[in-house]
Amino acid sequence: MAMAWVWTGMVVLSLVFGLLTGSLDAVANAALEGARSAIDLSISMAGVLCLWSGVMEVMSACGLSASLSRTFRPLLRRLLPNACRDEETLAAISANVSANLLGLGNAATPLGIRAAQRMSRGCGGTASDELCLLVVLNTASIQLIPATIASVRAAAGCRTPFDILPAVWLASVLSVAAGLTAARLLSRAGRSRP
Amino acid sequence: MSLSSLVIPVLLAGVASFGLGKRVDVYGALTHGAEAGLTVLLRVIPALVGLLTAVSMFRASGAMEWLSGLFAPLLERIGIPPETAPLMLVRPVSGNGALAVASDLMYTYGPDSYVGRVAAVMLGSTETTFYTIAVYFGSAGIHKTRHTIPAALAADLTGFIASALAVRIFFGT
């Protein structure tokens, strides 16, 4: 429903601004142009997007996501010690993290949900510190190869669409670190209050 | 020849050879994955039609500039280009909306401009926060989310500031 408000708000504001600034001709044109450009964009990003989805599939067929998820286990044991005492939860979480890294969002979400369901057992509807941490980890994107963005850049005429990777990695690491730190600090602050 | 033009051919050849060495049907997996990519795209197209219509009306009417200008004093102080304000507003709520706004920024300012790059990095380093929280807690039956939302928004804000910073570090303005 949120998007219904956002969409209506944008269209109504455009009409109001168009009337006030006398740019109604441009607004009318833009509506048709926008719809056309959505298909243009989709067609021109389709190739790169499909290629990278294919490469990701090859990587995961080679067992790359399985070995990635093994690499993350020691780190996750330290980050979420209680949840990781349960071997099956640990498996789900580490597979969730590695699927996120490879940009396999469709695979990551069900794995993360399975972990969240196991972690929320017997908590009476209140999120534990570790469950908050897992969700924060999932809301902060960690992606090795952001294929969708690269394909939009390519569609917009960029000749080196992947040159932003180091910048994306740096920004992602800082954002994840900030999320984890904030979760730690806030959980402590919440507990000291009665 | 630059180093970055080496990355893609080497990655393609490397992954394919590695897979073949492990007796994986590399070509079958590639086409299967491409098909999955097409399915994802098909699901996105209707949303893009709706959203890009609204976004380009919003820009043509001058409302986009007004919105950016509203946040400009604050954003310039923390080193974020104010043109990206609409992207930051829509990012936590809608993934497709963010894709539409970011692609509008890349088309308007150019994919290799400072604004275009920052928009791309912001899109890549953050997630659809509220959607993710709703999906996870909804399916786990959690009503009291405690500090999850503030912590996740702190991560988003840091991601936005860090995106602008990272683009300045790697590309300059």
Model ipTM?
0.89
* Structural domain of A113: 2-17+24-192
How many CB atoms sit inside 10 A of residue A5's CB?
10
Pair of tokens at residue A58: 């090859």
**Mean pLDDT, all residues of chain A:** 89
Q: What residues of B are in contact with residue A100 (Cβ under 8 Å)?
A: none
Strand, helix or coil at B128? coil
Mean pLDDT throughout A126-134?
A: 92
Contact residues on chain A for B12, CB-CB shorter than 8 A: 55
A84 DSSP assignment? G
- Is any Cβ of chain A less than 8 angstroms from the Cβ of B135? yes
Q: What is the pLDDT of residues A21-35, one digit of tens each?
A: 999 999 999 999 999
Angle at A67 between CA B126 and CA B33, to 5 degrees: 65
Taking the C-alpha atoms of residue B112 and residue A161, their distance in angstroms, rounded to an integer, is 9
pLDDT score of B3 more than 80: no
> Is 60 exceeded by the pLDDT of residue A194?
no
DSSP string, B67-85: HHHHHHHHHHHTT--GGGH
Interatomic CA distance for residues B166 and B82, integer angstroms: 16
Choose the weakest-confidence range: A136-145, B46-55, B83-92: A136-145
Look at B60 and A23 and tell me if their CB atoms are within 8 Å: yes
CB within 8 Å of chain A, chain B residues 38-77:
38, 40-41, 44-45, 48-63, 66
Which pLDDT score, from 0 to 100, does residue B115 have? Answer: 97
Question: How much is the average pLDDT of A138-156?
Answer: 88
**pLDDT above 50: residue A1:** yes
pLDDT in tens, A46-65: 988 899 889 988 988 898 87
Give the angle subtended at the CA of A41 by the CAs of A101 and A33, to the nearest 5°: 145
CB contact under 8 Å between A61 and B24, yes or no, is: yes
Q: What share of chain B is helix, strand, coil (3-state, %, to 5)?
A: 80, 0, 20
CB B61 within 8 A of CB A98: no
Q: Which of B29, B38, B121 sits opposite A61 (nearest CB)?
A: B29
B159 touching A (Cβ < 8 Å): yes
Any B CB within 8 A of A182 CB: yes
A59 or A141, which is more confident? Answer: A59
From the list A41, A120, A176, the residue facing B103 with the nearest CB is A41
CA angle, B11 then A154 then B10, to 5°: 10
Whole-angstrom distance, CA of residue B158 vs CA of residue A8? 30
Neighbour-count burial for A28-64, b at 16+ CB within 10 Å, e otherwise = eebbebbbebbeebbeebbebbbbbbbbbbbbbbbeb
Residue B80 in contact with partner chain A when CB distance is under 8 A: no
Distance separating alpha carbons of residues A166 and A152, to the nearest angstrom: 18
| Shortest Cα–Cα distance, A74 to chain B (Å) | 23
Residue of B nearest to A58 (CA): B29
Mean pLDDT of A115-133: 89
Q: Which of A160, A99, A55, A161 is nearest to B37 (CA)?
A: A55
Whole-number pLDDT of residue A18: 95
**Residue at token pair 């910073």:** B165
* pLDDT band, very low/low/confident/very high, at A169 (cuts 50, 70, 90): very high
- CB contact set of A69 (below 8 Å; sequence gap of 6+): A91, A94, A95, A97, A98
Q: Find tokens 């960029």 and name the residue.
A: A158
B106 to chain A, any CB pair closer than 8 A? The answer is yes
In sequence order, which residues have a C-beta less than 8 Å from that of residue B169 and are 6 or more positions away? Answer: A167, A170
What integer pLDDT is reported at residue B172 of this predicted model?
87
Which pLDDT belongs to residue B151?
95
**Taking CB atoms and an 8 Å limit, are A186 and B150 in contact across chains?**
yes
Residue-wise pLDDT for B131-153, tens only, equals 899 999 998 889 888 999 999 99
So what's the pLDDT on residue B117? 97
Q: How confident is the model at residue A193 (pLDDT cuts 50, 70, 90)?
A: low
> For residues A174, B98, A143 and B151, what is the CA-based torsion angle, rounded to 10 degrees?
40
Give chain A positions within 8 Å (CB) of B112: 158
Model pTM?
Answer: 0.89
Yes or no, beta carbons of A58 and B29 under 8 Å apart: yes
Q: Do B146 and A132 touch (CB under 8 A)?
A: yes
- Residue pairs spanning A and B at CB distance below 8 A: 337
Mean of the per-residue pLDDT values for chain B? 92
Express each pLDDT in B12-49 by its tens digit: 999 999 999 999 999 999 999 999 889 988 988 999 99
Three-state SS letters, B19-50: HHHCCCCHHHHHHHHHHHHHHHHHHHHHHHHH
Interface test mutation site (partner B, options A139, A159, A170, A185, max chain B beta carbons within 10 A): A139
Closest CA to A153 of B118, B52, B153: B118
pLDDT of amino acid B74: 94
Residues of chain A positioned with their CB less than 8 A from the CB of B24: 58, 61-62
- Rounded distance between C-alpha atoms, residue A69 and residue A80, angstroms: 15
- pLDDT single digits (tens) A73-102: 999 999 999 998 888 899 999 989 988 888
Q: What is the pLDDT of residue B4?
A: 64
Number of domains composing chain A: 1
Best of A14, A128, A169 to disrupt the B interface (most B CBs within 10 Å) is A14
